[in-house]
Amino acid sequence: MPNITSVLNDQIRRLAKREIKANTGVIRKATTQYRHAIAALKKQVAALTNRLPRPPLTPWRCRSCGQTKHRASIQIQTEGEEDFVGETDGAVDAARWPDGFGWFSMSIKCATCGMETPEGVSYEAM
Ligand SMILES: [Zn+2]
């Protein structure tokens, strides 16, 4: 025989669930519609962005002599194979340790006058 307390608790739970569902249903549905709309807009923005013309490439001119012929030097720094294997925890083939470099930089030197632009590009990669 069910006791009055458990019957009341079941009824309260059922009513509370129904009440919550009724109060949040409209908001949940609207949130889902907004998420779909936002995803569609992001897709549209990406498609339109890809259709934009790229700016024309312009050669780098030396700040001293104005010439465009340069020599570039690239520096790649890595912590080594042991560090790479430890960081990737075996998820990546150890032979690919050079791919795990931590710093990339590039210097440019004018081929005409020799003016150097040290570390024109310098990024930490990890
Ligand atoms: Zn120059």
Q: pLDDT value at position 36?
A: 94
Q: pLDDT value at position 45?
A: 95
Q: Which domain holds residue 33?
A: 1-52
- The answer as to whether 106 is a domain residue is yes
- DSSP, collapsed to helix, strand or coil, labels residue 103 as strand
- DSSP, collapsed to helix, strand or coil, labels residue 75 as strand
Give the sheet arrangement for strand 103-110, strand by strand. 70-77, 103-110, 116-124
Q: What is the per-residue pLDDT across 66-100, written as a single tens digit (0 to 9) for each?
A: 999 999 989 999 888 998 888 888 888 999 988 88
Q: pLDDT value at position 126?
A: 63
Q: pLDDT value at position 3?
A: 86
- The answer as to whether 24 is a domain residue is yes
Q: Both 48 and 4 in a single domain?
A: yes
- The answer as to whether 19 is a domain residue is yes
Residue 5 phi/psi, 5° resolution?
A: -65, -45
Say how many Å lie between the CA of residue 113 and the centre of ligand 1: 4
Number of domains into which the chain is organized? 2
Say how many Å lie between the CA of residue 109 and the centre of ligand 1: 8
- DSSP, collapsed to helix, strand or coil, labels residue 86 as helix
The low-confidence residues of the chain, meaning pLDDT below 70, are: 1, 119, 126
- The answer as to whether 62 is a domain residue is no
